[in-house]
Amino acid sequence: MKLLLPALVLLGLAIARAMTAGEDPGVVVVIGGDTLGYLSPCGCTKPMSGGIRRRATAIRALTHERKSVILENGGLVKGESRQDEMKAETLAETLADLPLTALHLTSAEAKLGKGAWESLARLSGAKLVCGHLTPQVGLVSPIIVKHGLAITGISSRAAEIGRGLGVATSPAEDAIEALLFTPNAAPVVLLEGDEDEARKLARAHPELKLIVYQADGDPPKAPLREGPTTLVTPGERGKYLVKLVWRDGAFSEYASIDLGPAFSDDPHAARAYERYLGRVTDEKLLDRLPRTKTPGFAGTKTCGSCHSDAHKVWEGTAHAGALSTLEKDKHDRDPDCVGCHVVGLSSESGFRDRLKTPALADVGCESCHGPSAEHAANPYEAKLKPAGEASCKSCHVPDHSPEFDFAKYWEKIKH
């Protein structure tokens, strides 16, 4: 493994000092959540953070030869498609290999349905937790206890969880009461809710030692406090992990760890990810995408027959090899990626694959200027609208291209 970030190096030194001095090094608690389907870093702006392969490497380093608790606060995916189901299963399988302590079953997972719930329970190693479900609801635990910590999960969307799974749910208060009466264990809540909800919960139940909440963006540089309760979040899209140490009845040694390129890919997680991509290809998810009827496309080569200077500029840009970048990483049949690397994927007349529609591979003229078959047949009558910044922003969105600046990027492709 090519490591390490300064936080992990300092952690290792602290552990070594404690063990040498005969002190209790405590229990390392590693927290993730709200991956939202981002199993891999994505984007044309570097460096990007996150991904299950880097995450697994970081967790193994943090928990190596240590007592550890690994928590995942739900939010595995954000949709309900077949691909979302595959992503959730892949993430659960990867976490189980680490090994996972508890995976909070939130409304995001429940909306995938009972079949997916059962699959997640099996793949996670029976580590699903949800305080709204009674012990009679199989495959999900209301409380999981490990290394002196008692963990449950609660949500303001309990009714959605019940509907998704086809079961009855109990109030959050019942879950908290059961948690607080767990003997010889400090109470920890995985919360499907934001900071305000976490603070409200902490004020109502100051006995809680830790609340993990959900938040947009990156985690804060330091843990939050509400009375005696520690509040933390791993942020969104799986870009960070949060690390704490539980020792002598308190949480300390907080670190938010950016899963950037300093972390190599874990080989076990990499194999799970390759299997996921294979399933996406085998089930032909790209071919099953909904398409709309639009005017026909001419293809970039046809455009170049008249616009030779512009075509020559295009040949020297990264746009001209956009699809090949996906092929190198085996993402060329991934519906999440292909649309911004070809022409007209959402159109009945658009890209299908390299064999059927070779003229529409890569980011071509019509990616910005729109379908141009009519213009190519009758250029003086069928005029095209000029392309501009809005054309670029259909793909260069903040999630995938956070540093996009039209003026700067235009200099690379202007024609």
Q: Do 87 and 217 sit in the same domain of this protein? A: yes
Q: Do 238 and 380 sit in the same domain of this protein? A: no
Q: Do 67 and 213 sit in the same domain of this protein? A: yes
Angle in degrees, CA 26, 31, 35, rounded to 5? 165
Quick one: pLDDT at residue 403? 84
In tens digits, the chain (415 residues) has pLDDT values of: 344 555 555 555 555 555 555 678 899 999 999 999 999 987 776 788 999 999 999 999 999 989 999 999 999 999 999 999 999 999 999 999 999 999 999 999 999 998 998 999 999 999 999 999 887 677 899 999 999 999 999 999 999 999 998 888 999 999 999 999 999 999 999 999 999 999 999 999 999 999 999 999 999 999 999 999 999 999 999 999 999 999 999 999 999 999 999 999 999 999 999 999 999 999 999 999 999 999 999 999 999 999 999 999 999 999 999 999 999 989 999 999 999 999 999 999 999 999 999 999 999 999 999 999 999 999 888 888 888 888 898 899 888 888 888 898 888 888 8
Final residue before a domain boundary, out of 277, 305, 325: 277
Q: Do 347 and 269 sit in the same domain of this protein? A: no
Rg (CA), the chain: 25
**CATH code of the domain containing 362:** 1.10.1130.10
Q: Do 92 and 212 sit in the same domain of this protein? A: yes
The reply to whether 287 falls in a domain is no
Strands 27-32 and 229-232: unpaired
Q: Do 271 and 307 sit in the same domain of this protein? A: no
pLDDT digits (tens, 9 = 90+) for 229-248: 999 999 999 999 999 999 99
The reply to whether 42 falls in a domain is yes
Final residue before a domain boundary, out of 277, 301, 322: 277
What phi and psi values does residue 151 have, to the nearest 5 degrees? -115, 130
The reply to whether 1 falls in a domain is no
Distance of CA 235 to the CA centre of its chain: 10
Q: Do 76 and 202 sit in the same domain of this protein? A: yes
Q: Do 263 and 300 sit in the same domain of this protein? A: no
C-alpha span between 20 and 14 (Å, rounded) = 10
The reply to whether 286 falls in a domain is no
The reply to whether 260 falls in a domain is yes
The reply to whether 284 falls in a domain is no
Quick one: pLDDT at residue 13? 53
Final residue before a domain boundary, out of 213, 242, 277: 277
Q: Do 124 and 236 sit in the same domain of this protein? A: yes
Quick one: pLDDT at residue 20? 52
Q: Do 193 and 52 sit in the same domain of this protein? A: yes
Quick one: pLDDT at residue 8? 59
Q: Which domain holds residue 168?
A: 6-277
The reply to whether 112 falls in a domain is yes
Q: Do 260 and 316 sit in the same domain of this protein? A: no
Domain count, the chain: 2
The reply to whether 285 falls in a domain is no
**CATH code of the domain containing 45:** 3.60.21.10
Q: Do 230 and 320 sit in the same domain of this protein? A: no
Whether the model clears a pTM of 0.75, i.e. scores above it, the answer is yes
